Amino acid sequence: MDFAFKSDKEILAELGRRFKEARINSSFTQQELAKHTGVSRTTITRLEGGLGISLTHFIALIRAVDHINDLSKIINVRQFIDPEKEFKKQQAQSKRVRH
């Protein structure tokens, strides 16, 4: 599905539909998932119904249905850059370039 031209409401509905499918494939009922994650059944119903929930709850729920690694498909997480190492690297490069 191309989300570029979808409204927020349509995207939430699609996320809810996909989450419900993942939950069912993971053999969780809403009640079991709520107990397992500490996220209320009402929140799970909201997500599956295409309504907004907190990002914290969303992460807990997708982790429980074993889809947490799917986040890497939508979030390009860069390696942590150590500012001190980066500074030393730049200093070393500038020392090499003499005019």
Per residue in 44-87, pLDDT tens? 999 999 999 999 999 999 999 999 888 877 666 555 566 777 77
Instruction: Establish if 51 belongs to a structural domain.
Output: yes
Q: What is the CATH number of the domain that holds 17?
A: 1.10.260.40
Measured between alpha carbons, how far is 27 from 30 in angstroms, rounded to an integer? 10
DSSP secondary structure letters along 42-62: HHHHHHHTT----HHHHHHHH
Give the residue numbers spanning the domain of 61: 8-96
Q: Looking at residue 5, what DSSP letter applies?
A: T
pTM of the model: 0.71
Measured between alpha carbons, how far is 10 from 1 in angstroms, rounded to an integer? 11
Instruction: Establish if 34 belongs to a structural domain.
Output: yes
Instruction: Establish if 19 belongs to a structural domain.
Output: yes
Number of structural domains (the chain) is 1
Instruction: Establish if 1 belongs to a structural domain.
Output: no
Per residue in 40-56, pLDDT tens? 999 999 999 999 999 99
